Chains A and B, each alone.
Chain A
Amino acid sequence: MSRNTSRREFLLTAGGAAAGIGLASVIAVESARATPATMQEAIRKVVGPARVNPGRVKLELPPLVENGNTVPLTVKVESPMTAADHVKALHLFNEKNPQPDVASFRFGPRAGRASVSTRIRLADTQTVIAVCELSDGSFWSASVNVVVTLAACLEDA
């Protein structure tokens, strides 16, 4: 327990750049559950060593959801969407589902608008992060904290 915790604390203070430290094997031993650290690792896998700047992405989620099975989400980026200046991809991550990845959407200049709506699952109250990749190679992000309540009466006896 203390070995795992101290590794996680090290990674967080080191700015989450730790894809190769063998964290994967530590997480595999525990029950499947993402953590803020594995979410950072998943983001690193997509972004590489580049810096992720907060901003430019608009992530819309209800602050309180009635049921975590189906949470409506819209993510968009203001962009001219021309060949010279467009959004290449939008990636979604979460911090407390069993896995940190949610989805990746890929665009080009033919999209017209960098905007996607979908419905996701959230296992618990947690933070959802959207990362966008622009054609100039820069990365931008937005995060929203969502409160998830459980159904009062479950069906399974």
Chain B
Amino acid sequence: MASALINVPPRAKRGEIIEIKTLISHPMETGYRRTQLGALVPRDIIRLFVCTYNGTEVFRAELHPAIAANPFIVFSTVATESGTLAFQWTGDRGFSETESVAITVD
């Protein structure tokens, strides 16, 4: 799977509130399902999502199995300066995924 789909406006005005959409492929296995033979399928979820803006954390989400598969999170941040928005997802079984997107702020 293309791991993540991120939507950030490439350009914004200083002080403008921008909306960021993130979609990452992950089954978010709850740990409550059973196979046809009755064995419990172990939990395997993304537990944490953090967004940093030029290194400063601007948003954090702590996720539980009740978040749907292929987690979709939309949030806002203020466009303060040009630079890099970095996104990190971490979870069970050492799952760790990072993506970065550049933004130009006039």
Whether the Cβ atoms of B36 and A156 lie closer than 8 Å is: yes
Chain B residues touching A, range: 20 to 34
Bound complex: CA A101 to CA B61 (Å): 13
What residues on A are CB-neighbors of B17 within 8 Å?
112-113
Bound complex: CA A103 to CA B47 (Å): 9
Q: Does A10 contact B (CB under 8 A)?
A: no
Q: Does A38 contact B (CB under 8 A)?
A: no
What residues on B are CB-neighbors of A116 within 8 Å?
61, 73-75
Q: A97-B66, A121-B67 are in contact. Are A104 and B76 (CB under 8 A)?
A: no
Bound complex: CA A99 to CA B61 (Å): 17
A residues contacting the other copy or chain, number (CB 8 A): 30
B window 53-106: CB within 8 A of A: 53, 56, 58-69, 71-78, 80
Nearest residue, chain B, Cβ from A101: B64
What residues on B are CB-neighbors of A94 within 8 Å?
66
Bound complex: CA A133 to CA B13 (Å): 29
Whether the Cβ atoms of A110 and B67 lie closer than 8 Å is: no
Q: Does A117 contact B (CB under 8 A)?
A: yes
Chain B residues with CB under 8 Å of chain A are: 17-18, 30, 32, 36, 53, 56, 58-69, 71-78, 80
Query: 8 nearest interchain CB pairs?
Result: A112-B17, A117-B74, A119-B68, A112-B78, A113-B76, A102-B66, A106-B60, A104-B62
Chain A residues with CB under 8 Å of chain B are: 32, 69-71, 92, 94, 97-99, 101-108, 110-113, 115-122, 156
